Structure 1
Amino acid sequence: MNFIIKQATVSNRKDFLKILQCWNMQNGFLHDETELDYSNFFIAEVNNQVVGMAGFMPIDGERYRTRLLAVYPEFRGTEIGKALQDRRLEEMYKRGAKIVETSVDNLEMKHWYKKHYGYTEIYKTKKEYEISFIDVDVVDVLYLNLIEYMKNKIAFDSKKLRYMEKYEPHPLSPYPPLIINVALTGVIPTKTLTKYIPISVNEIIEEAINVYDAGASIVHLHAKDENGKACSDAKYYEKIISGIKKERPELICCATTSGRDGQSVEQRAEVLSLTGNAKPDMASLTLGSLNFLSGASINSIDTVTELAYIMKEKGIKPELEIFDTGMVNLAQYLERHNIINGKKYFNILLGNLNTAGATIKDLSHIYTSLPDNSIWAAAGLGHFQLPMNMASIVAGGHVRVGLEDNIYYDLNKTKLATNITLVNRIKKIANELERPISTAQKTREILGI
């Protein structure tokens, strides 16, 4: 909710009374009105309407007392009350307050002050007049060491945020910016299947630029030869990556080291030897062998280990591809032997016939099994793409999307997708969840590139 906190004035008297009457607190205001200084009060406004108030009064040079914190009942739970409390504490601190006293007559507010601000209870006293809960005739007087609170506030807030990020579900804990990784083209899609698939060097460069401008921060790259056939020849990757870097230097380029066409380790690693502007930022590393309907992808432990070593030596971050839980075990093995380390980026690809299914259960099991310090994204193959992307966004993961995994926009396969329309759909979903999109620069920070 959008609201603003402002200094109160005498013109807010009627606003005060209306709000306080909702909580039977008007008697406290009327009883002390002659002593009240409106410069010691703040108001909260929503759409230019006063919806909350809070104040304080000095007792002596170093001791202050809070006065009349209240919001309309319908605005409870909107953080307005906390913002008013924060503002008056800041003002008291500026004026030299060291100790703050606050009186409460109900458990909810007593716990609220203790929980959020570290108040301690010092004594009970009889109410001077009927106010708030009429069946309660005593109040608890709470004490806050304002100097200690202000000194520790940043550390306390940071600790609370770290705890929430670790343990609280989204959106109670803030969503991290969403990393969109686009698999622009792949081994299988051809112009016969879809006219939108980029094949040539120039088409792939142009497509990378377009998806970056749409919001992607990583492009997963496959090179094609003059005949449109997938290949591992470094000369094609050199043109593609340097062409992308020339136009969009921040965009993260991830080159495939796929084993779907039976290439040798040396052939698959060719792209890892590129330098300068043609050097990939990342490279895919599939953590095990698997069968596709079109054939096998062979990735022996020795092959995976060798490719991982080369990436480490060249300073190229692996894009760790996971198709089932057993591949997580290999990731843990590689980390245990310091072959991979630091921040790890996993792509969880689900929905292939011979590996883990595209279900919430499988996705949850795999991403909760990942080693510490892991960043993960989810992809669904074919018509599973959108459901897995959505599940990942909600769960706080990231997404891999693109024509390599799915050439159709709709479930019934009546509309061909483009990489741009797929990215825009992801952005729309993220926007509905109020989850920000990660920039390429932010993604580099998140992944440690």
Structure 2
Amino acid sequence: MAETIITCAVTGSLTRPQDNPNLPVTPEEIANSALEAADAGAAILHLHVRHADGRPSMELDHYREMVRLIRRKNNEVILNITTGPGGRFQPGDEDPKIAGPRTNFVTADRRVEHIVDLKPEICTLDLNTMTFGSEIVINTPPYVKRMSEIIYDNGVRPEFELFDSGDINLLRDFLDAGVFRGPPLASLVLGVKYGFAANSETMFYARNLLPRDTIWTGFGIGRMAFPMLAQAYVLGGHVRIGMEDTIKLSRTELVKSNAELVERAASIVRLLGGTVASGGRARQLLKLAQ
């Protein structure tokens, strides 16, 4: 890569504050951590929100406050806001057709309500339907199509989250049908159980399945976060790191901040001979509004 874009995934929805007390939770904590990550070299901020007790949130007010606090201090960094929450279904114990208590499955319109309101530069669009823990994540083609229509209508660019090879087939089919617009932005998500394995062979295979003009990022989770970051760079992709993906620097050392992770990511890119793109340069590379 001539210039490598670092995305920082600031808090996610599955990492737990009890496992690392440095995990940002409130809109103010997430915004402050995001701004520190941008100062450390992240050109894109991938953003979720949470309730005060650490549970994942879909509250519009949480998104609004987080974005307000970030934009008050930084207008250059690119915001990439999740649309992942709202796709989980837990079959009930008595009747699997009836949703269990961990279900949060909502309409496609509800999934992107905050995108319509905030209009970030980018938002994620998950293409996976898969087992996720003891639940199912559901993103059927008609459901994805509806979400994409709303996203495009609001001038936002989707980043397609790809968890397995079938997701790439769906990406290709929807590009061919004109549902998605090229060149696509995509992330290869490695290390989620029952999805792409976090190893070199899998990333190489997945990259080769992508449409030729795809602008892609590759990342792994947990202890494979940094090995997969280096692998993504070597294979010509952009990179991602953050406390959504890993809360440990080593087996015994907890991550202190997202900035610490971004600094290490930037160091790896430079050691491998690369250059880290600024937020302004990333906007040019992705053809986003300045």
**Under a length normalisation based on structure 1, what TM-score does the superposition of the two structures give?**
0.58
- The match for 2:253 among 411, 415, 423 is 415
- The match for 2:172 among 318, 323, 332 is 332
1:268 maps to 2:111? yes
1:437 maps to 2:282? no
The alignment partner of 1:220 has SS state of: strand
**2:77 aligned partner, one-letter code:** L
- Note if contact 1:215-1:439 (Cα within 8 Å) is conserved in structure 2: yes
1:267 is displaced (CA, Å) by: 2.1
Unaligned runs of 5+ in 2: 89-103
CA distance in 2, matches of 1:270, 1:367: 31
The residue aligned with 1:200 is 26
1:221 is displaced (CA, Å) by: 0.7
The alignment partner of 1:355 has SS state of: coil
**Under a length normalisation based on structure 2, what TM-score does the superposition of the two structures give?**
0.89
Matched-pair identity in %: 29
1:346 is displaced (CA, Å) by: 0.8
The residue aligned with 1:307 is 147
1:243 maps to 2:69? yes
The alignment partner of 2:209 has SS state of: coil
CA distance in 1, matches of 2:193, 2:51: 29
The residue aligned with 2:54 is 228
- Note if contact 1:272-1:279 (Cα within 8 Å) is conserved in structure 2: yes
Question: Within 5 Å, which residues of 2 pair with 1:265-414?
Answer: 265-274=108-117, 278-293=118-133, 295-410=135-250, 412=251, 414=252
Structure number having the greater strand percentage: 1
The residue aligned with 1:28 is none
1:292 is displaced (CA, Å) by: 2.4
1:294 is displaced (CA, Å) by: 5.6
Q: Deviations over 1:249-274 (max 9, x none)?
A: 01111111112442332321111211
Rg larger for: 1
Tell me the number of residue pairs that the alignment of Structure 1 and Structure 2 aligns: 270
CA distance in 1, matches of 2:165, 2:149: 22
Structure 1 residue runs of 4+, over 6 Å off?
none
The residue aligned with 2:4 is 178
Q: Deviations over 1:100-122 (max 9, x none)?
A: xxxxxxxxxxxxxxxxxxxxxxx
- The match for 1:219 among 45, 66, 70 is 45
Tell me which of the two structures has the higher relative contact order, counting C-alpha pairs closer than 8 angstroms and 6 or more residues apart: 2
1:188 is displaced (CA, Å) by: 1.5
The residue aligned with 2:98 is none
Range with bigger deviation, 393-402 or 228-237: 228-237
The alignment partner of 2:215 has SS state of: strand
**2:141 aligned partner, one-letter code:** I
The alignment partner of 1:389 has SS state of: helix
